[in-house]
Structure 1
Amino acid sequence: MSDDSPPTGARQGFTEPWRERLPLPAPEAMDAAQCAAAQALIDGPRKGVYGPFLPLLRSPKLLERVAAVGEYLRFDSVLDVRIRELVTCAAARHVTNQFEWLMHAPLALKAGVAPATIEALRVGARPTGLPAEEEAALDFSFELLRNHGVSQPAYEAALQQFGEQGVVELSTLLGYFVMVSWLMNVAHTPAQASAQGEPLQAFPL
Structure 2
Amino acid sequence: MHPTSDDARQRPDRLPPLADHELTPQQQAAVQRISAGPRGSVFGPFVPLLRSPVAMEHLQELGAYLRFESPLPKALFEMAVLLTAHEREQEFEWNYHLPLARAAGVAETVIVAISGGTTPTGLTADESAAYRVVVESLRANRVSDATYEDAVARLGVQATIDLTVTAGYYSTLAMVMNLAQTPPPKPDPTAAPAGG
Instruction: Report the TM-score, using the length of structure 1 for normalisation.
Output: 0.87
Q: How many residues align?
A: 189
How much has 1:198 moved relative to structure 2? Answer: 6.2
> d(CA) in 2 for partners of 1:166 and 1:78?
7
Structure number with higher relative contact order (C-alpha < 8 Å, ≥ 6 residues apart): 1
Q: Deviations over 1:84-141 (max 9, x none)?
A: 1011110000011001101112111111111011011011111001111111100111
2:5 is aligned to: 9
CA contact (8 A) 1:88 1:177 kept: yes
Residue of structure 1 aligned with 2:144, choices 137, 151, 170: 151
2:30 counterpart of 1:37:
yes
Match for 2:75 among 58, 64, 82? 82
Q: Look up the SS of the partner of 2:5 in the other structure.
A: helix
Partner of 1:180: 173
Contact 1:102 1:197 in 2 (8 A): no
Residue aligning to 2:44: 51
The corresponding residue for 1:130 is: 123
Deviation at 1:192, TM superposition (A): 1.7
Instruction: Report sequence identity in percent.
Output: 38
Match of 1:169 in 2: 162
Contact 2:95 2:187 in 1 (8 A): no
Displacement of 1:160 in angstroms is 1.1
Deviation at 1:18, TM superposition (A): 2.5
Give distance in 2, aligned partners of 1:10 and 1:180.
21
Residues 78 and 101 in structure 2, CA contact (< 8 A), matched pair in contact too = yes
Superposed CA RMSD in Å reads: 1.7
Compare 190-199 and 80-89 and name the one that shifted more.
Answer: 190-199
Equivalent of residue 107 in structure 1, options 95, 100, 106: 100
Aligned to 2:185: 192
Structure 1 segments of 4+ aligned residues over 4 angstroms from their partners: 194-199
Contact 1:11 1:191 in 2 (8 A): no
1:11 to partner: Cα distance? 5.5
- For structure 1, the 5+ residue unaligned runs are 1-7, 200-205
> Unmatched 5+ residue regions in structure 2?
none
Distance, in Å, in 2 between the alignment partners of 1:64 and 1:165 is: 23
